[in-house]
Structure 1
Amino acid sequence: MSGLTSQTPVPTGIVVHAKTRALELQYADGASYRIPFELMRVYSPSAEVRGHGPGQETLQTGKRDVSIVSIEGVGNYALQPTFSDGHSTGIYSWDLLYELATRQDDLWRAYLDKLAAAGVERDAPMAAPGAARGHCH
């Protein structure tokens, strides 16, 4: 069962802007939003990012330059992008995309707050899974 409600607008047009690294969603009412790839990537709904429960999230860093190399529709309810860092397991429902599109400021703030709380730089390379969390300068 997808998270679709009858209230969720389904985009009538989807444009991948490689140069500006944003996904544009166009809606029937004329509204259009651009979601930065970085925002999509750090809020990926995949288990790899979200974990399997609260507090299990993996904080994503170093994604400012990530791009989308391909994107596929999943049924009539979601998109599945493949990112340039190889991440391709996130299934973005129309609900999630609309939330990312319309709540960008809040989501950026939450992301930057999490980075600050963790003492991690936004552009720090991701530690390899299972790697010791040391600081090197």
Structure 2
Amino acid sequence: MCNNYCGRKKISRFPRRLKSRSVNCIVSLQQSFMPRTALLFLILLLSFIYQFSYSQGKGQLSGRVVDRGTQAPLPGISVLLQDGTGSTTDSSGAFRFTELDVKTYSIEFTGIGYKPRSLFNIVVNVYR
């Protein structure tokens, strides 16, 4: 296992010395691999924990803003969540928030020439 080397010391081929040095070599190999193995295990464990926690608590919220009378899409409307996250509707009146915490939100819609409108108790669930 050691190929006659233990660290930088070459192990002698004499039988009386070989036994004690080979034990030292095995111990030395265990000591050198142990920190690397423990570090690798720790990194893998943390990445799995991060991935698990990241995927458990995120959701998205999307919708479309249209004129009440004509049902025409309203581009450029500001959409603001109560936590300060904001967006603007695109040319088709659509908006989307991703990576939101799973909880209940209130949304405020404002636009030039339109009265501000709010929606309350909008529940965001985990991605499916």
| Interval containing the TM-score (normalised by the shorter chain) | under 0.3
Greater relative contact order structure (CA < 8 Å, 6+ sep): 1
Please say which structure displays the higher CA radius of gyration: 2
Which structure has the highest strand share of the two?
2
Which structure has the highest helix share of the two?
2
